[in-house]
Structure 1
Amino acid sequence: MRRRLALAALLLPTQAVLAQASGGAGAQSGTHGYWWYEAPPEVEKAKEGKADPDALVKPMIPPMAELATWTPPKIRTLIEQQRDYAATVLTVEAVSDFWRLQDFARRKARAFAGVTQLAMLTHPELNARAANPMVGEARDVLGAQKDQLRRQYLRAKAGEFALVMFARASCGYCRVQWPIVQRFQDEMGWQVSLMDLDRKPELGQRFGVEVTPTTMVIRRNSAQRMVIAAGVETYPNIVQMAYQAVRLLSGDIRPEQWLTAAGEEDGFFDALANGPVSSTDPRVIGGDLIDVREPKL
């Protein structure tokens, strides 16, 4: 008797499933067996309405008045869609529509360039020509002024800094670089030293020098130093790099102003002329700009 009851209990779920599958009363009432699987209705609808991403769809090109209000990224997307569509169907009309969109983008870019010129005339402080003239004679005068400022600054720092060139006897490039470094000594009045790594290899490890020739600015009685040339460099480049290195080590400029040349401080080419440009600037605290300039009297 007990065996019959146990067998009946095992067969009940199976019988219910068979009844539902055959359209029995259980299926009509909405009840399902234990092993009845059915996807939710929203999943089935999503499968039916899912579009093929590679399907060929003709882009909808709006009227010119509406297209003029679109942002450049939106216009660029439409142009790319039309290009792909035209390259697929290869009809005259589709290709013509693509080039019409290209012509619209060209005219929009030209209009932007025209308004830009007017903006530069209205706000000359935004125009690089005021700080970097294109006329040859003016550029020569500007170059001479910058060179004079660099020389005066470096000569004033001759007692505080020195130039060291690391070399090896087997380095042919070192023999080319050394006379250039010596010229720096003659014109700027700096002490210049030649360090032979073949004789004193420990200097290479101490100063982290692996390539010869390596030219380095060293601050006297200090651990501050900076490489200004790795390999052969021209004399003007040595002067420029030494000038920037000394200004940085002296605290006259910040790293963001490394490309600010002599005489360009607080001008168009000074990255920090109008305030900080990085979150690590000490003038920015908690995302807010702190004005550290002295108050005007």
Structure 2
Amino acid sequence: MRKVVLILAVLFLTVISARADVNNYNPYQGWFWYKNPPKKEKNKDKNKEEKFTMKTYTYKQLWNMYPDKFQKLLKYALRQAVQNPTPQNVKQYLILQDIARRKAYAFSNVVGYVTQTNPNLSLYKDYPENSPGIRMRTGLMNYDVDKTLKSNRDEYALLFFYKPGCQYCEIQSQILRYLQDEDGWEIMPININQRYDVAARFNVKTVPEIILIHKGSPQWIPVAAGVIALNNIKRNIYRGIMYFEGKLNPKNWSIYQFQKNSGFDVDKYPVAPDMKFKIKVEEQ
């Protein structure tokens, strides 16, 4: 009788185990379904120190060392001094740091010499940093902008997109009124709630937005989105007009006419195009 009971108990446990396996079985797993078993992580000893090799250099070797290699060596010297701050290690690091400072100072001095003896490579003549020069540069910029806007106000116009209840639109409208009253520019306000077809034509998705149009052609360009100052509006109109007339391109987008052929003109080479350069490069 005991044997029969034992046999029935074993069969019962086997059935339960089989059901558990069936319930947990997933046919879409394994190598055939591109699911590799998780890789076993290798035991890494995080406390294991990296192996370093002690090397000796002379001051002249350090001074003439390639910058990338010297920078790496400078980091090693700093770590060595921090890990073991003996007078010798700290002094050694400070000497290397002094070399880096002297090399940077030497480079800066040579830059000053080259720009002084080669004015075509200097930007001081085109972008003065003293007060009289800054005033003159600002005056030339404003002269270019005002002259261009006044001479082209009959050929161009502005579309001002707005919608009722937009407080930003009201502020921008007041700013545009100065441009209309002082410079005589034609400004056409367009309510996007009523003229959504016009807004879609000019891809206007936000208000306030200003579009510059050329009356004699289908050319147009955005001037501003959101509230911007009058000076910025004028300068963006200026750039749009210069672009339509072929006097400005995207590479020279920020320059003015008085800056043509200067150090800011990317289409003007400072040296002969066939000038040869000798540069030491890393061998592949």
Q: TM-score, normalised by structure 2?
A: 0.72
Distance 2:85 2:205 in 1: 59
Q: Secondary structure at the match of 2:259?
A: coil
| Change in CA separation of 1:56 and 1:96 when aligned onto 2, cut-off 3 Å | farther
Contact preservation (8 Å) 2:162, 2:190: yes
Q: Which residue number in structure 1 is paired with residue 233 of structure 2?
A: 238
How do residues 48-67 of structure 1 correspond to structure 2 at under 5 angstroms?
55-58=50-53, 60=55, 62-67=57-62
Residue 177 in 1 paired to residue 162 in 2?
Answer: no
Q: Secondary structure at the match of 1:263?
A: helix
1:64 shift after superposition:
1.6
Distance 1:229 1:174 in 2: 12
| Overall identity of the aligned pairs, in % | 25
Distance 1:144 1:245 in 2: 20
- Which range moves more in the overlay, 180-189 or 96-105? 180-189
Q: Which residue number in structure 2 is paired with residue 96 of structure 1?
A: 91
Q: Which residue number in structure 1 is paired with residue 160 of structure 2?
A: 165
**Aligned AA for 2:147?**
Q
Please, which of 248, 253, 273 is the counterpart of residue 253 of structure 1? 248
Contact preservation (8 Å) 1:59, 1:78: no
Please, which of 271, 274, 297 is the counterpart of residue 266 of structure 2? 271
Unaligned runs of 5+ in 2: 1-47, 275-284
Q: Secondary structure at the match of 1:128?
A: coil
Distance 2:138 2:219 in 1: 30
Higher RCO, Cα 8 Å, sep 6+: 2
How do residues 17-166 of structure 1 correspond to structure 2 at under 5 angstroms?
55-58=50-53, 60=55, 62-166=57-161
Unaligned runs of 5+ in 1: 1-52, 276-283, 289-297
Distance 2:269 2:177 in 1: 39
- Offset from partner CA, 1:100-152 (integer Å, 9 cap, x none): 21111011111111121111211122222111222212322332222112211
Distance 2:57 2:213 in 1: 65
Q: TM-score, normalised by structure 1?
A: 0.69
1:89 shift after superposition:
4.0
Q: Secondary structure at the match of 2:124?
A: helix
1:58 shift after superposition:
4.9
Distance 1:172 1:74 in 2: 59
| Change in CA separation of 1:241 and 1:60 when aligned onto 2, cut-off 3 Å | farther
Over the residues paired in the alignment, what is the CA RMSD in angstroms?
2.4
**Aligned AA for 1:173?**
Y
Distance 2:134 2:187 in 1: 32
